[in-house]
Amino acid sequence: MFMAVLFQSAAPFNKTTFRIIIPKGVSTYTVRSILEKEGIVKSDSSFAYIARVLGAAKHIKAGEYELSPSDTLLKIILKLKRGEVLPSRQILVTFPEGTSIYKMGEILKINEVGDPEKFQDLIKEGITREIREQYWHIFKYIPSESLEGYLYPDSYYFFNDARVADLVSVMLKRFNEVVIPFWLESLKDTKYNLHEILTLASIIEKESKVPEERAIISSVFHNRLKIKMPLAADPTIKYALERPTQKVYLNQLEVDSLYNTYKRRGLPPGPICNPGIESIKAALYPAQTNYFYFVAGKDGSHIFSRTWAEHQIARAKVQ
pLDDT surpasses 70 at 1? no
Dist. CA 79–CA 56, nearest whole Å: 10
Q: Give the CATH number of domain 2-82; options: 3.90.1150.10, 3.30.1490.480, 3.40.50.1970, 1.20.990.10.
A: 3.30.1490.480
CB 114 within 8 A of CB 164: yes
Strand 90-94 to 155-159 pairing? antiparallel
- Amino acid 59: pLDDT: 83
Work out the end-to-end distance of the chain between its first and last CA atoms, rounded to an integer number of angstroms.
80
CB 261 within 8 A of CB 231: yes
Dist. CA 267–CA 221, nearest whole Å: 9
Domain-wise residue ranges, the chain: 2-82, 90-186, 209-271+281-318
207 compared with 15, residue with greater pLDDT: 207
Dist. CA 163–CA 72, nearest whole Å: 34
Cα distances from 60 to residues 32, 87, 180, in angstroms, run 11, 17, 46
pLDDT in tens, 269-278: 999 999 999 9
Dist. CA 38–CA 104, nearest whole Å: 33
Burial classification of residue 8, based on how many CB atoms lie within 10 Å of its CB (0-12 exposed, 13-18 middle, 19 or more buried): middle
CB 159 within 8 A of CB 85: no
pLDDT in tens, 154-189: 999 898 888 888 899 999 999 999 999 999 999 999
pLDDT in tens, 294-305: 999 888 899 999
Phi, psi for residue 110 in degrees, rounded to 5? -60, -40
Dist. CA 290–CA 258, nearest whole Å: 27
pLDDT in tens, 54-64: 888 888 888 88
pLDDT in tens, 94-147: 999 999 999 999 999 999 898 898 898 876 555 777 788 888 999 999 888 789
Indicate the pLDDT class of residue 16, thresholds 50, 70 and 90.
Answer: confident
Dist. CA 89–CA 21, nearest whole Å: 12
Indicate the pLDDT class of residue 51, thresholds 50, 70 and 90.
Answer: confident
pTM of the model: 0.75
Dist. CA 279–CA 209, nearest whole Å: 11
